[in-house]
Structure 1
Amino acid sequence: MKKYGIKVFYAIFMSTVCLLSFNSFAEAACGGANCSLITGSQDGMLDKGKFIIDLSYRYVLAENPHRGSNSTNEAKTPKVNFATRSIDLEEHTEIRTINKLVQFDVSYGMTDKLTLSLNVPMFNDRYHEHKEGAGAIENNNGTTGFGDITLLAKYALLETTKHLLVGGVGIKFATGDYKLVDAGGSINEPTLQAGTGSYDAILSGIYNYSVIPNTLSIFTSMSHRFTTENDLDYLFGDTTLIDVGADYLLSNKVSVSSQLNLRISGRDEFVNLDVPSTGGEFLFFTPGVRLAVSRDVSIYSHVQLPLYQRVNDENLVEDYGIMLGVSYGF
């Protein structure tokens, strides 16, 4: 693989954290997170004038009720009632949530040290099942919509043959739908919405060490999203993502990776009151593989498996997550 091909390959592989890259929401009353891991194209450093575009599909299943860090028979969660500006405690029992996301990302090398990335969640589908009291299971309260766009700027603070240290800042815009209604015509649960309705700030950093240049690398990253309150007086909790992992280039065409992903989500607030069943800590193991189908095009896949999950109060936790994607560098 030529020099440019190698750099594009690694730039495509090294990325910022999922969705969030801060597009994944904090775990909340109806479980709205997408998988969070280092993948795609959002954090790779590019040569001046170079582009990477990336299209990914993400699927997350959550049907495992937890109380704290322990499994339980059922998880009762509240309803955020925007009409009465109140929180209806233990309003329903969670059954299943399936989050599906199609996201488009584009990165551009402004200079050899500065790269800009735009993350666009084009299609955010949240299928949801719950029941109220002893009633039947309802599955007509999910939502589908356009998500919140994130703009990130990454700067190479240190770049040598073996070391890459990148610092990043970003902003998440309130472009997504966040007032979609449920089957009864009321504004739906915040974590079933495609967007948050808030403008959030993001700080990130990633360090990559080439144990064997262009063959074996280890990396770590940390990102934090500082949230703001939306015009519904709802505040999502801040989210911190910490990742460590390694990737190995088996050949000019195939690379494999393994990483641990930790997500720490703060408790949400509504009209300055803590929202029960929101926030927690979540640790995942994520293996992945990437195939270069040509000099500039690659396809990739990741599976995210939970190792430890603790929710505040009661909620569903993730069973597994899958990500499939294709990247093109030019």
Structure 2
Amino acid sequence: MRDLFFLFLLSFTIVYKSMAQTCCSGGVPLSSNLGLPNEGKGIIIMGLNYDYNNLNTLNAESSKLDDNSRQRITNSILLNLGYSITDKLAVEALLSWVNQTRTITQFGNEEFTGTSGIGDAVFLVKYSLPNVLGKNTVFNFGLGTKAPFGKSDIKSEQGIQLTADLQPGSGAWDGLGWLSISKGLKIRPSATISGSLTHRLTGVNNSYLNNAATYEFGDEIQANIGYTDQVLLFNTLFNPGLIFKYRKAFEDKIDSQGIPNTGGEWVFIRPEITVKLSQNISINTRYELPIYSVVEGTQLTPTSRFTTGISFKLETKKEVLILNN
């Protein structure tokens, strides 16, 4: 009963905090790939992931339109690096390489636009508080920034600067706040319920369109709540999980004026599984599908997302044994 009460409280808290804000439907998956665990002082975690995001659904507010003439695809290579300075204090970096394509098919003609390059990066400082909310709980919070490493001024073959949503980078510094909480269940010791909240306050690109304008992506909130378990099969540990994600983004702005057909709300369901090949090597795979969306005006919105990768854990600290003669 206590576990059920905790789950209800966690769900209510995350949903309530999320009902406050809205980002564009595509782009680099920075916020949704944060949150490496703190494995203890001196531990380094490295993760390499491939992320495929397909946007092929045209929505008018909450209605799906019978129109598949437009498609956006984002392919991202993501490198996560985490280091635990102490058992509670850790730092994390997320670096990205991005390939974005847009295909418009009309009247038998196809218009294709694509860009590739280094994307923006995230740097985060995190602090863990075990058992602060009860036994078998871990509460984490962090603050960080998104640095504009990627180009934001790529031009088409005709010499025209491409729109902001097709650029590998945003051209702006963002502020990030992150928190997460997890709890092991008494009724099933191998299971865990968890939740996380990420809030991104976007900055302004002051050199948009060759310094002719300013551009600001909408602020963004993402909230996740999920259940994971642990199963031993063929002498290998499998961690299946089911996650529900809520995402809300404000409208984009050009010269401080809101841009129509930007911003919205989405709810996704995400089955995922992690396979521990050894104590220090894991493979993870997840598949994300939208189950609810309402956008401002008419927009191309996510159809499906697939992410897979591998992570490594390295121990830098060494135990020194001193013998007294």
The TM tier, using the shorter chain, reads 0.7 to 0.9
Opposite residue 247 of structure 1, the aligned amino acid is T
Identify the match of residue 193 of structure 2 among 215, 218, 226: 218
In the alignment, the residues of structure 1 paired with residue 90 and residue 160 of structure 2 have an alpha-carbon distance, to the nearest angstrom, of 42
Q: Structure 1 residues 49 and 34, CA, compared in 2 at 3 Å: closer, same or farther?
A: closer
2:24 aligns with 27
Distance 1:128 1:275 in 2: 20
2:195 is the counterpart of 1:200: no
Q: Paired residues, what number?
A: 281
Relative to the length of structure 1, the TM-score reads 0.80
How far apart are residue 214 of structure 1 and its match?
A: 6.0
Q: How far 1:272 sits from its partner (Å)?
A: 1.6
Indicate yes or no: 2:35 matched with 1:42. Answer: yes
Quote how far apart the aligned CAs of 1:177 are: 1.2
Choose from 114, 118, 135 the match for 2:93. 118
- Counterpart in 2 of 1:64? 57
Between structures 1 and 2, the one with greater helix share: 2
Deviation at 1:44, TM superposition (A): 1.0
Q: In 2, Cα distance between the equivalents of 1:223 and 1:36?
A: 7
* In structure 2, C-alpha distance between the alignment counterparts of 1:276 and 1:195, rounded to whole Å: 21
Distance, in Å, in 2 between the alignment partners of 1:214 and 1:182 is: 55
Q: CA deviation at 1:172?
A: 0.5
Tell whether 2:256 aligns with 1:259: no
Per the alignment, residue 108 of structure 1 pairs with 83
Q: Which residue of 2 aligns with 1:148?
A: 120
- The match for 1:244 is 225
Report whether the alignment pairs 1:286 with 2:274. no
Aligned to 1:136: 109
Bigger radius of gyration among the two: 2
- For residue 201 of structure 1, report the CA deviation from its aligned partner: 0.4
After superposition, what is the alpha-carbon deviation per residue over 1:174-201, rounded to whole angstroms, capped at 9, x for unaligned?
Answer: 1111111123221111111111011000
Which AA in structure 2 matches 1:278? T
Instruction: Give 1:217 shift.
Output: 0.4
The separation in 2 between residues aligned to 1:210 and 1:125, in whole angstroms, is 39
Q: Can you list the C-alpha shifts for 1:68-88, whole angstroms capped at 9, x where unaligned?
A: 01111349xxxxxxxxxxxxx
Structure 1 unmatched ranges of 5 or more: 1-24, 76-93
Aligned mates of 1:205, 1:245 — CA distance in 2 = 15
Secondary structure at the residue paired with 1:138?
strand
The answer to whether the aligner puts 1:229 opposite 2:213 as a matched pair is: no
In 2: Cα distance, 1:62 partner to 1:266 partner: 19
1:180 to 126, 147, 154: 154
CA contact 1:145–1:177 (8 Å) conserved in 2: yes
* Alpha-carbon distance in 1 for matches of 2:118, 2:145: 17
Cα displacement (A) at 1:167: 0.8
Instruction: Quote the Cα distance in structure 2 between the aligned partners of 1:224 and 1:295.
Output: 32
Is the contact made by 1:208 and 1:217 (CA closer than 8 Å) also made in structure 2?
Answer: yes
Q: Distance in 2 between matches of 1:162 and 1:111?
A: 20
Q: Label 1:320 to 1:68 Cα distance change in 2 as closer, same or farther (>3 A).
A: same
Kindly indicate whether the alpha-carbon contact (under 8 Å) linking 1:46 and 1:115 is maintained by their aligned counterparts in 2.
no
Q: TM-score when scaled to structure 2? A: 0.81
Question: Are the equivalent residues in 2 in contact too, given 1:36–1:261 (CA < 8 A)?
Answer: no
| Cα gap change, 1:32 to 1:149, in 2 (>3 Å) | closer
The alpha-carbon deviation at position 154 of structure 1 amounts to 0.9
Q: How many angstroms apart in 2 are the aligned matches of 1:110 and 1:214?
A: 29
Aligned-partner SS, 2:205: coil
Residue 26 (structure 1) shift:
2.2
Name structure 2 gaps, 5 residues minimum: 1-21, 209-213, 315-325
1:151, 1:35 → 2: CA distance?
A: 10
Q: Give the drift of 1:144.
A: 0.6
Question: How far 1:230 moved relative to its partner?
Answer: 0.9
Aligned to 1:112, what secondary structure does the other structure show? coil
Aligned equivalents of 2:294, 2:239: Cα separation in 1 = 32
Contact 2:271 2:286 in 1 (8 A): yes
Equivalent-residue separation in structure 2 for 1:265 and 1:321 (angstroms): 18
Report if the CA contact (8 A) 2:36-2:92 is conserved: yes
Q: Deviations over 1:228-256 (max 9, x none)?
A: 11122101100000110011011261110
Structure 1 counterpart of 2:243, one-letter code: Q
Distance 1:171 1:106 in 2: 15
Per-residue deviation, 1:35: 8.7
The correspondence for 2:280, drawn from 271, 296, 302, is 296
Q: Is this contact kept in 1: 2:31–2:198, CA < 8 A?
A: no
Of 200-209 and 175-184, deviating more is 175-184
